[in-house]
Amino acid sequence: MKRLILSLAVTALALLGVSQAAPACTSFAVGGPHPIFGMNFDYARFPMKLLLEDNGNLRTFHLAFERVIQGEHIFVTTGGMNSNGLFYACQELHPQVRTPPPPREGDMPLYLLNTMVGRMKTVAELKAVCAKAHLTQVPDVTCHTLFADKTGAALVVETGTGRNLLTPMTGPYLAMANFASHGMKGQPYQNAQGCGDDRYKVLCAFLEKTSVPFDVDHGLSALELAYNRNPAYPTSCSMVFDPQAAEVFLAFHRDFSKVWKVSLTAGTVETFRGFDTATKHQLGKNGILVSELLDAEATATPPQQ
């Protein structure tokens, strides 16, 4: 499984590069004594899968989506969290850099940093990697990643000419859309300009006004407000992560009346709220398709009254 997940991550950028530009995805991290993270995955309608990766005692949940290249169906990971509470959300960054400088010796593609969530525990560890390696992009696809952990630390990682661009969380929250986060340092969120700035502003406005303690329900409300209204790239999956409980709460296709829960400890996904029938599934080594999950729920027989 570890080799599979690494292969998926390595392939992800190339797969995205053959598609049309997708102004998609919004994510956030809220700090404090009980951190909460969230991500709206917005993309054209492709099959999605919930995956678990085991690496020793460390287990990582991933959301993956399917692409077809050269006739082969491959699931590409885009966001998730490990059982120690280390979270990542990898999103496209616009404008895209079509012809980045050729890599130099010792350079590392930024997307490889995402795979390290499967074996690291804190943002500080990832930051140490960034201090030693010059991160680069690959041709035709440009990305950036929001990382956060259960200590309340969060960081957006982007690439720059000759140096890495790191944007740490300095206030109560850190949000990311599809424009460069490092340009927002010291700026009010209302000044945001670029791809996804409308969703970014809605999200930040909610995060600023929401009283603490911030919880899972607040996170779901934030993502519901910030869903992608572009019909070509609608919000397909909304995820709220509770790092202390090692749980993930999911709503699919903008239906926030029904919420599922993934337990990294148990390795299961189950109905959590809004369902007539309670169901639970083991994710297993091959994960589970979201379509299979929803079909099983739709055909489940409600209990007799």
- Give average pLDDT by consecutive 10-residue segment, the chain, 305 residues: 42 41 79 96 90 96 86 89 98 88 86 94 96 90 95 96 93 96 94 95 95 91 94 92 98 97 98 95 92 87 62
Structure tokens at 217: 């329900």
Residue 301: the pLDDT is 66
Residue 90: the pLDDT is 96
Structure tokens at 210: 């929401």
Residue 157: phi and psi, rounded to 5, are -110, 125
Place of tokens 């992560």: 241
In this prediction the pTM is 0.91
Which residues are CB-contacts of 40 (< 8 A; sequence separation ≥ 6)?
25, 26, 27, 199, 223, 226, 227, 228, 235, 237, 238, 239
Judged on CB neighbours under 10 Å (0-12, 13-18, 19+), 304 is exposed
Helix/strand/coil (H/E/C) assignment for every residue in the chain: CHHHHHHHHHHHHHHHHCCCCCCCCEEEEECCCCCEEEEEEECCCCCEEEEEEEECCEEEEEEEEEEEECCEEEEEEEEEEECCCCEEEEEECCCCCCCCCCCCCCCEEHHHHHHHHHCCCCHHHHHHHHHHCCEECECCECEEEEEECCCCCEEEEEECCCCEEEEECCCCEEEECCCCHHHHCCCCHHHCCCCCHHHHHHHHHHHHHCCCCCCHHHHHHHHHHCCCCCCCCCEEEEEEEECCCCEEEEEECCCCCCEEEEECCCCEEEEEECCCCCCEEECCCCCEEHHHHHHHHHHCCCCCC
Residue 157: the pLDDT is 98
From CA 274, how far away is CA 52, in angstroms rounded? 25
How far is Cα of residue 235 from the mean position of the Cα atoms in its chain? Answer: 13
Task: Supply angle C-alpha 66, 195, 112, rounded to 5.
Answer: 50
From CA 266, how far away is CA 245, in angstroms rounded? 11
Residue 15: the pLDDT is 40
Task: Supply angle C-alpha 275, 277, 279, rounded to 5.
Answer: 100
- Which residue, 192, 159, 189, 195, is CA-closest to 172? 189
